[in-house]
Amino acid sequence: MNCFNISCILLIVLGFTEGAGLLPDGLNAAVGETAMFTTTLSPTEKPFQSVNWAFNFSKTIIIVTNSENTIGPEYEGRITFFPSTASLEFRSLTLNDTGEYAVSIAQDGKIQNGRTTLVIYEKVSNVSVTSSSTDLVEFSGSVSLSCSASGSSLSFLWLNGSSEVTASDRVQLTDGGSSLTIINVTRFDQGPFRCSVSSPVSTGTSDPVNLSISYGPENINLILSPPQGYFAVGSDISLTCSVGSRPPAQFNWFLNGDQLPDTGSELRLMNVHMSQSGNYSCQAFNSKTLRSQTSQPSAITVLGKSASVKPSTNLPVEGTSVSLTCEASGSVFTRNWMKDGSDLTPTDNMTLSDNNRVLTFNTVNRKDNGEYFCQISNPISSDGAKYVMTVNYGPENVQIKGPNKINIKGTLKLICSAESTPSARFTWFLNGTEVLTNSAEYNKEEVEFSDSGNYTCQAWNNITERTSSSVVQGLIVTGCAAGCIAGIVIACCVIFAAAVGGGYYIYKKK
Ligand SMILES: *[C@@H]1O[C@H](CO)[C@@H](O)[C@H](O)[C@H]1NC(C)=O
Ligand SMILES: *[C@@H]1O[C@H](CO)[C@@H](O)[C@H](O)[C@H]1NC(C)=O
Ligand SMILES: *[C@@H]1O[C@H](CO)[C@@H](O)[C@H](O)[C@H]1NC(C)=O
Ligand SMILES: *[C@@H]1O[C@H](CO)[C@@H](O)[C@H](O)[C@H]1NC(C)=O
Ligand SMILES: *[C@@H]1O[C@H](CO)[C@@H](O)[C@H](O)[C@H]1NC(C)=O
Ligand SMILES: *[C@@H]1O[C@H](CO)[C@@H](O)[C@H](O)[C@H]1NC(C)=O
Ligand SMILES: *[C@@H]1O[C@H](CO)[C@@H](O)[C@H](O)[C@H]1NC(C)=O
Ligand SMILES: *[C@@H]1O[C@H](CO)[C@@H](O)[C@H](O)[C@H]1NC(C)=O
Ligand SMILES: *[C@@H]1O[C@H](CO)[C@@H](O)[C@H](O)[C@H]1NC(C)=O
Ligand SMILES: *[C@@H]1O[C@H](CO)[C@@H](O)[C@H](O)[C@H]1NC(C)=O
Ligand SMILES: *[C@@H]1O[C@H](CO)[C@@H](O)[C@H](O)[C@H]1NC(C)=O
Q: In the structure, what pLDDT confidence band is assigned to residue 6 with cuts at 50, 70 and 90?
A: very low
Interatomic CA distance for residues 170 and 142, integer angstroms: 9
In the chain, which segments carry CATH 2.60.40.10? 6-121, 125-210, 219-303, 308-389, 393-482
The percent of residues above 70 in pLDDT, for the chain, comes to 89
Task: Tell me the fold of 393-482.
Answer: Immunoglobulin-like (2.60.40)
Interatomic CA distance for residues 33 and 16, integer angstroms: 31
- Measured in Å, residue 212 CA sits from the centre of ligand 6 at 10
**Per-residue model confidence as pLDDT tens digits over 407-456:** 999 999 999 999 999 999 999 999 999 999 999 999 999 999 999 999 99
Q: In the structure, what pLDDT confidence band is assigned to residue 254 with cuts at 50, 70 and 90?
A: very high
Task: Tell me the fold of 219-303.
Answer: Immunoglobulin-like (2.60.40)
- Pairing state of beta strands 69-71 and 59-65? antiparallel
Domain 308-389, CATH class in plain words: mainly beta
Q: Does the pLDDT at position 399 exceed 90?
A: yes
Q: Is the CB of 184 under 6 A from ligand 4?
A: yes
Interatomic CA distance for residues 59 and 37, integer angstroms: 17
Element holding 15 (H helix, E strand): helix 5-15
User: How many degrees, rounded to 5, is the angle at CA 259 between CA 254 and CA 264?
Assistant: 70
Task: For residues 374-388, give the mean pLDDT.
Answer: 83
CA torsion sign, 228 to 233 to 238 to 241? positive
- Measured in Å, residue 172 CA sits from the centre of ligand 5 at 13
Q: In the structure, what pLDDT confidence band is assigned to residue 4 with cuts at 50, 70 and 90?
A: very low
Residues within 6 Å of ligand 9 by CB: 431-432, 453-454, 473-474
- Measured in Å, residue 425 CA sits from the centre of ligand 8 at 28
Q: Is the CB of 431 under 6 A from ligand 10?
A: yes
Q: In the structure, what pLDDT confidence band is assigned to residue 69 with cuts at 50, 70 and 90?
A: confident
Q: What is the pLDDT of residue 20?
A: 58
- CATH 2.60.40.10 is right for the domain spanning 125-210: yes
- Pairing state of beta strands 237-246 and 212-225? antiparallel
The number of the ligand 7 atom at minimal distance from the alpha carbon of 299 is 1
Task: Give CATH for domain 6-121.
Answer: 2.60.40.10
The percent of residues above 90 in pLDDT, for the chain, comes to 70
**Per-residue model confidence as pLDDT tens digits over 28-47:** 999 999 999 999 988 988 88
Which residue lies with its CA nearest to atom 12 of ligand 10? 450
Contact call for residues 395 and 461 (beta carbons, < 8 A): yes
Q: Does the pLDDT at position 213 exceed 70?
A: yes
Q: What is the pLDDT of residue 233?
A: 85
